[in-house]
Structure 1
Amino acid sequence: MARRKAEIALQQEIETNEQWTALLGLKGLIVAEAYQAWCGPCKAFENIFKKIKMEQSDDLLKFAVYYGGPLKAMESRFRALKNSLGDDNLHFAIAKADNIDALEDYRGRCEPCFLFYAGNELVSVVRGANAPVIIRTINEQLAQEHKVLKGEATRKAIIDPAIEGIRRKRAESKAQAQVQHLIKTHRPITICIIKPDLIAKNKKDEIIEKIKEKGYEIVEQRDVQFTEQMAREFYSHRKDDPHFNDLIRYMTSDVSCVLALTKEGNNEEVINNWRKDIGADVEEPKENPDSFRAQYATDKLMNAIHGSDSRESATRELAFFFPDYENQNKTKNTQRTLALIRPSAFAKHKDSIVKKIKDKGFEIAMTKTVQLTKQQAEEFYSEHKGKSFFDDLVKEMSSGQMMVLCLAKDNAIQSWRNLLGPKEKEKIKDASGTLRNEFDVEGSPINSLHGPSTPEQAQKELEAFFPIEQTVAILKPGLSPDKRAEIEKKIEQLGFIIATKKSEKLSQDIAKDIYKDANNKDYYNDLVNLMTSGETEILVLSRENAIEGWREVIGNVDPAKAKVENPNSLRALYGVDVLKNAVHGATTKEQAEHEIKLLFGDVKFDKTGHLAS
């Protein structure tokens, strides 16, 4: 028993923040491998170190962080290090990244990763199970640390370049998510760029005055001198255009003026109206003589004015030019609230009610159609149980399909209550100008629409109908790294949290399991072969209404149909055909849960949608 306890102590796992802090406080060189619970540490290492331990001193190691894969080739190499491994200044540890805050950025990755620390600072990193490189790094860093401890050298701390990139991307994604939240819940925004040739001709003030005359409010304005790098990044979506280099030269030739514009209406209306106002790239003046391009454009390249062409573009461009915009607008009392169009009104007035909601300046952030059971209706209105109208209310709420909407606006809760009007049927007929008056259903004892009265009630009801949920997104083989990066950026711009992800080549069994519902299709074998043909990026996405929302984002399974139905969908933008349609998404909650377990094991998520620690 005493021998077994000694083994455990020698192969100590680091599983808490406190243990990690204590480990980094050790004198000398620490080699750490970060593993995750879903894949576990390398069992091959466990056997290797048991053998090595028996040959070395009892004060040997507290070892290293690793992600998987047999390392039999390393056994003989480590045996060759027998003398140096007995060094009191060399320590090894296995650290569970799931639980350690400092290793958060090493989660969700399958490649072995060995971290070398000295004096509480990172001094080297080796990725991959490359025995010669790992051994050489141990020797070099241990020798260097001995010199440091003797005062003969200075310790050289490093920043892990891969993790630095992840952190930068996360910061960018956070900024994009904040802007997306702004777009959904604040005033609609679109971006205008007055291009260099017009600035050179002193037309800026004239154009700005005309923009205001058309009813737009300028909420942000700045002059920008595009560098080549900025221009290439901003127009990266056009890099395959044969005139791309000419465009870059044009945009870097002089200063541009960038404006963030808003106007009454929802996001799509403002963006589409501005696109109409600026005009087509190549346009005969007689077609729209009042458009900006008809008045000022020289040719297709020097087309005078830029305008965002979609909500996603507006989000990206706002973040690109005005990253601090949200912080400057925190005085806004933006809220979200729930709206229910009850079954009788849904059957008769759905489209008219939705139009009226938009006309009143509400942003419809999410929507779904549901049908409640009698029990669900009773639970939703349990606070009214025992009241005279309770039975009629439950009967109406469970009588058929209804529409559920998440509305966003400044002071949305009270604004929605005011727009609804009185609850009591006998008072509705005298409440002209309210929705309950305008869309009252004759013969129904219950009013036609519902809205919560307090922020607490609104939050509770939104969570009931739009819970944070997870779905799987698979970026199929064949996509270039650049396109994968673009898709992931779009995912985060649309408000999804990438809770975890990994890259791997799918096995035949897993591919067949994912597409088992298509096993009677003619293309089934071709689909399985495609999915196992190369590297696949697999992500778990979290968001309110994530499953349905992701299906909307990816679009029709046939990219040709997607281009017609939703030209901004991912399959329309990146798909080739029904097989090579770029992305996969689960269609039901059950399928999403099954695929998450199949691909990531028993992972858990917290109430915010992030991976639970």
Structure 2
Amino acid sequence: MAQDTRYAFQAEWYDPNAAIIRKYQFLFYPNDSTAEMYDIKNRRMFLKRTKCDSVRFEDLYVNSTINLHSRQLTLVDYADDFTRRALSTRKEKTLAMIKPDAISKFGPIIDMIYQGGFYITNAKMTRLSRRDAETFYAEHEGKPFYDNLVRFMTSGPILAMELMGENTVAAWRNLLGPTDSSRARSEAPRSIRAKFGTDQTQNACHGSDSSMSADRETNFFFGPDAPKMRNTAKLSECTCCVIKPTAVKEGKAGQIMAAIVEAGFEVSTAQMFHIEKANAEEFLEVYKGVVAEYKEMVSELCLGPCFVLEVTGKGANTAQAFREFVGPHDPEIARHLRKHTLRANYGIDKVRNSVHCTDLPEDGLLEVEYFFRILSE
């Protein structure tokens, strides 16, 4: 990057006191991680150039949520042509979809995505209706494989993800490998379809084939006019797991998901959330005045995207069993006393301890409902 390179975005902040959305120009200088903000309506400097370690270059893309001095900003558009030109290919997006045949392997697949240098900017598990599948695959209508494809894609849950990176459309298709899984095993043995696919239809994952398709397909799942799709939450004998923003930013989410499944639990639904401060305070309210790190816990939950999972699979004992598997709040204690727990393996400190889990069994359903009935709708 050139000396003092500057990226400019149009940003919005919801002011809870005035109950209005305030608009700013957000400027970020990656060479020294400084930022400044200009108030568009009042035509004046709002924040002089200041150090901002909470924002990274990787966070700079349209629709990203960033935290700047306790304010949660949404970057809604590029603010100048230089930023648009500089970042449009480096921040290219595409759709990745884990198909029903590979949904049980979503943890290792997500880990391959992070290891491949991609960022996941949106994700949700759902089950396609016949109408959804027919609409999504409309370009293939009339082809010999169309009916079988629609039938297969509606046979179980799928996980749709929006990936971002440099030349992502081509890079993701390269990581997928050839459409035919048997051909992938001979020509690209390290590809996703070689490892997890079965044939040409049951080939683990889907990837957009062009930039135009990527725009259409990501909008189909995540755009403002996306059809209403129900999540796959069971809302029974369940508990809540939140893979925290720091663990997500470090690319550990796939490994954590795989570890949960390997321990005998089921992940019955999953979704990526960008949690606003008011929601974080509400969700963590039980810790207010009880845990010294409450404010830091709220800040951590708002630091960036997190994955929320509904965990099932152990019947009425699911919440308690999962709580034991997660381990003590302090990862240092976990590493001494419970070496095989999630926090021992993936946590940093008491705040950045990789995952939140439901502490009391009776709260498991309430926490799952908070995300998958209240926030997601």
Query: What is the TM-score normalised by the length of structure 2?
Result: 0.46
Structure with more contact order per residue of length (Cα contacts < 8 Å, sep ≥ 6)? 2
Structure with the largest fraction of helix: 1
Query: What is the TM-score normalised by the length of structure 1?
Result: 0.30
Which has the greater radius of gyration?
1
